[in-house]
Amino acid sequence: MIKKIITLIKKKNTVSNSYSIHILHKEADFLIKKLFEELSELLICFNKYNINKGCFNRYFLIKEICDILYHLLLFIVYNNFSFLEIEKEFLRRSSISGAEEKIFR
Ligand X SMILES: N=c1c2ncn([C@@H]3O[C@H](COP(=O)(O)OP(=O)(O)OP(=O)(O)O)[C@@H](O)[C@H]3O)c2ncn1[C@@H]1O[C@H](COP(=O)(O)O)[C@@H](O)[C@H]1O
Name residue 91's amino acid.
Answer: L
3-state SS, residue 51: helix
Instruction: Give the CA-trace dihedral at 61, 63, 67, 72, to 10 degrees.
Output: 70
Single residue of 2, 10, 12, 68 touching ligand X by CB under 6 A:
12
Single residue of 6, 9, 31, 76 touching ligand X by CB under 6 A:
9
CA distance 92 to 55: 40
- 24-43: contacts with ligand X (CB under 6 A): none
Name residue 104's amino acid.
Answer: F
List of E strands, 6-104: none
Site mask, ligand X, residues 66-85, x = CB under 6 A? xx--x---------------
CB of 33 to ligand X, least distance (A): 10
C-beta of 20 vs 76, nearer to ligand X: 20
Contacting residues toward ligand X, per CB under 6 A? 5, 8-9, 12, 18-21, 66-67, 70
